[in-house]
């Protein structure tokens, strides 16, 4: 079996920086003189608490998080947040705005509707979520406790390029574009992100909560689902190894020049790929031009019968994970922070070559 690392466009769990994986390998079977691996030491041990503290410090530096923000590392996945957010913050008898721009945002709305009466402020469903509904058409409620949205829609390849306007605090599912661009923190009450796209392996969800927002939560909550429990102290065993990997990814991100640095590279990567799509006769982007995601590039072939062949041949060339989600079809290249520029260059080269071979290239049509 080949031990070569290939170009990985998986939508999540997704590519991690190679140097992070190699550093983790070096720290097996013994972590820094502790006599055991990180997977085997107490979450109350100095070695582990230093890892978690470093992860928090790095996040604070990367995002400019002030003292008003709590940083939580929770298990259960971002899907648990779909329930936990309204459980804590949807007021009994009150409401909150939900903007539904894709599958995950819709799931968040459905969970809130199990607990109370969220307001469906906007939905992109009739366009099969190919665009972000214009904010001018949203139906926001004046008494909304918060506005929930999903900043990047992995499946459909759309992304908010402007922060939503609201009189209430924003709550954002940032799972698939967390730390890929700056955030205007003052507008938010809570931001959550499953790690397995941009910041680490599956198994931990980072939750940022502003203190004043946290203090207005509902009472009588189950202990594990009360954000206050985890903001106050390390209540139970965290997903130790996942947090350890996140700490390393955050260190790598700082070495890339932080969020400004990675945003520059992300813009370059996405630009290369969308330019290749727009310049061709064979490929067409799925998402509306203005709402195109810098993280997940969705595209179809003008001749859909060729799509399975595209994926098979790409795979043979070492370009992995390009098959689109079944609800969109076609292809999806997930090019999160850790996806290197070289991977996108290799994909673009393959796309050009495939187009020529299939007789659909612009010049082949001359």
Residues classed as catalytic:
104, 173, 197
Q: Which of residues 138-197 bind its own copies (CB under 8 A)?
A: 194, 196
Work out how close the CB of 275 gets to its own copies at its nearest, in angstroms, rounded to a whole number.
26
Q: Which is nearer to its own copies, 238 or 285 (CB)?
A: 238
Verify binding: residue 239, its own copies, rule CB under 8 A. yes
Contacting its own copies within 268-307 (CB under 8 A):
none
What is the C-alpha separation between 160 and 149, in angstroms, rounded?
Answer: 9
> How many of the chain's residues bind its own copies (CB under 8 A)?
73
Among 65, 71, 242, 282, binds its own copies (CB under 8 A): 242
* Of positions 55, 100, 106, 111, contacts its own copies by CB under 8 A: 111
197-236 binders of its own copies (CB under 8 A)? 201-204, 220, 222-225, 235-236
Among 126, 168, 241, 335, binds its own copies (CB under 8 A): 241
299 with 285: CB under 8 angstroms?
yes
Indicate whether 36 belongs to the interface with its own copies (CB under 8 A). Answer: yes
Q: With respect to its own copies, which residue has the nearer C-beta, 232 or 260?
A: 232
Check residue 28 for interaction with its own copies (CB under 8 A). Answer: yes
- 24 makes contact with its own copies (CB under 8 A): yes
**Cβ of residue 64: shortest distance to its own copies, in angstroms?**
28
47 binds its own copies (CB under 8 A): no
Cβ at position 161, least distance to its own copies in Å:
26
Figure out which of the listed residues 29, 92, 305, 363 binds its own copies, where binding follows CB under 8 A: 29
Q: Measured over all CA atoms, what is the biggest interatomic distance in the chain, rounded to whole angstroms?
A: 71
* CB of 58 or CB of 83, closer to its own copies: 83
Smallest separation (angstroms) from its own copies to the CB of 14? 6
Interaction pattern, residues 63-102, with its own copies; x per rule: CB under 8 A: -----------xxxxxxx-xx---x---------------
**Given candidates 61, 68, 114, 161, which one binds its own copies under the rule CB under 8 A?**
114
Using a 10 angstrom Cβ sphere, with 0-12 exposed, 13-18 middle and 19 or more buried, the burial of residue 134 is: exposed
Instruction: Print the SS3 string covering the chain.
Output: CCCCCCEECCCCCCCCCHHHHHHHHHCCCCCCCCCCCHHHCCCCCHHHHHHHHHHHHHHHHHHCCCCCEEEEEECCCHHHHHHHHHHHHCCCCCEEEEEECCHHHHHHHHHHHHHCCCEEEEECHHHCCCCCCCHHHCCCCCCEEEEEEECEECCCCEECCCCCCCCCCEEEECCCCCCCCCCCHHHEEEEEEECCCCCCCCCCEEEEEEHHHHCCCCCCCCHHHCHHHHHHCCCCCCCHHHHHHHHHHHHHHHHCCHHHHHHHHHHHHHHHHHHHHHCCCCEEECCCHHHECCCEEEEEECCHHHHHHHHHHHHHCCEECCECCCCCCCEEEECCCCCCHHHHHHHHHHHHHHHHHCCCCCHHHC
Q: Does 113 bind its own copies (CB under 8 A)?
A: no
Minimum CB–partner distance for residue 347 and its own copies (Å): 14
Which part of the chain contacts its own copies (CB under 8 A), choosing from 17-25, 118-126, 135-143, 145-153? 17-25
In the complex with its own copies, the residue whose CB is nearer, 168 or 190, is: 190
Q: Which stretch binds its own copies (CB under 8 A): 11-19, 55-63, 95-103, 352-360?
A: 11-19
- How far is the C-alpha of 136 from the C-alpha of 138, rounded, in Å? 6
Q: Which is nearer to its own copies, 18 or 267 (CB)?
A: 18
Q: What count of Cα atoms within 13 Å lies in the side-chain half-sphere of residue 27?
A: 19
């Amino acid at each position: 079996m080949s031990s070569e690392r290939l170009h990985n466009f998986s939508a999540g769990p997704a590519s991690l920086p190679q140097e992070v994986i190699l550093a983790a390998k070096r720290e097996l079977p013994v972590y820094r003189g502790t006599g055991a691996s990180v997977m085997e030491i107490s979450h109350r041990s100095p070695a582990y608490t230093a890892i978690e503290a470093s992860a928090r410090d790095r996040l604070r530096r990367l995002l400019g998080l002030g003292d008003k923000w709590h940083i939580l590392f929770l298990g259960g996945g971002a899907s648990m947040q779909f329930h936990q957010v309204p459980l804590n913050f949807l007021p009994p008898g009150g409401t909150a705005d939900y903007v539904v721009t894709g599958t995950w945002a819709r799931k968040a709305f459905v969970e809130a509707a199990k607990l109370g009466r969220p307001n469906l402020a906007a939905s992109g469903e009739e366009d099969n979520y190919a665009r972000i509904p214009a904010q001018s058409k949203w139906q926001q409620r004046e008494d909304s406790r918060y506005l929930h949205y999903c900043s990047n829609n992995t499946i459909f390849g759309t992304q908010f390029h402007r922060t939503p306007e609201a009189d209430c605090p924003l709550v954002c599912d940032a799972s698939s574009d967390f730390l890929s661009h700056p955030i205007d923190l003052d507008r938010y009450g809570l931001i959550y992100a499953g790690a397995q796209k941009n910041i680490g392996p599956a198994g931990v969800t980072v939750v940022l909560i502003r203190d004043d927002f946290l203090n207005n939560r509902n009472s009588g909550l189950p202990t594990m689902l009360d954000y206050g429990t985890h903001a106050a102290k390390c209540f139970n065993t965290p997903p130790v190894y996942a947090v350890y990997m996140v700490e390393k990814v955050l260190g790598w991100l700082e070495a890339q020049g932080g969020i400004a640095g990675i945003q520059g590279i992300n813009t370059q990567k996405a630009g290369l790929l969308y330019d290749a799509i727009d310049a061709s006769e064979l490929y067409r982007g799925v998402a509306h031009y203005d709402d195109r995601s810098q993280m997940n590039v969705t595209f179809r072939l003008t001749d859909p019968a060729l799509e399975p062949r595209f994926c098979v041949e790409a795979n043979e060339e070492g370009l992995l994970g390009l098959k689109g989600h079944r609800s969109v079809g076609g292809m999806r290249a997930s090019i999160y922070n850790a996806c290197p520029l070289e991977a996108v260059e290799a994909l673009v080269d393959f796309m050009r070559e495939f187009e020529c071979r299939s007789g659909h290239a612009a010049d082949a049509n001359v």
